[in-house]
Structure 1
Amino acid sequence: MFRAALVVCSALLLAGCTVTVGATPSLSQETVEQGISDTVLRMVGHRPEAVDCPDPLAAQPGNTARCVLTDGGKRYGVTATVTAVANGGADYRIQVDDQPLENPWFG
C-alpha cells in the first residue's frame, strides 16, 4: 500500500518550526510528521495510525530525517529528504520502505 512512493511535500519554515538566530532553520518533527500523514492521506485515501519522527529536519537541501509510519498494525520506515529551500519555505520528498520493519522495537 505504501510501496516506495516518492512524493513532494511543502512545509512553511515560518509555521511549526524552530528558527534560531545564527542557526540553520529547521522543520519541527511535528511539521514533518503532519506532512507525511497528509501525503499518505492524498496517496491512499486515509491517514496512517501514527507517524513518529525523532528529531527536527534541518532545512538544507540533501538533509534527511528517518521516521516511522504505523498503519494496519505494521510499522514502515520513512525517509524525508529536503530538496529545496527558498522564500521562507522548504520542499521535501518522502520515501516509504517497501517492507514493514522487522522488529517493532528497533527500526
Structure 2
Amino acid sequence: MLTTKPLRSKKKMAEQVRDAVSDYIREHGLKAGDRIPTEAELCAAFGLSRPSVREALRLLEQERLVVTVHGRGRFVTAVAALNVARPISVFESITKMLAALGYAANTLLLAPR
C-alpha cells in the first residue's frame, strides 16, 4: 500500500504528486518494468481528484519516467531507475551548486595595479 507525506508546497498540486510518485519509485527501489500504483490508489493516498493525479502522471510520462501500457497500467522506465543527483535537463546556477556543496561563491574584480 502506498503511504504518503502531506503535500504542502508552493508548487502546483500536480507537480507535488509527480515528485511524490518519483520519490516512491526511488524509495521502493522500483526497477524498469515494475508497475506503479493505479490512479485510484494514488487518488486515495493523496486525497485528490482524478484530474490532478492524471496531470501528475502525464508529467511523469513527459519526463519519460513512466510509460503507460493501455489496459495493463503504468510502468517504470529505465530512465526512472537511474539515480541521477543532477539531471542534465535541469538548469541550476553555479552559485546554488557550490552552496549545496558547502562553498561560498564570491565575485572579485581583478584590476592591474
Q: TM-score, normalised by structure 2?
A: 0.29
| Bigger fraction of residues in strand | 1
| Bigger fraction of residues in helix | 2
Q: TM-score, normalised by structure 1?
A: 0.30
Q: Which has the larger radius of gyration?
A: 2
Greater RCO between the two (CA within 8 Å, min separation 6)?
Answer: 1
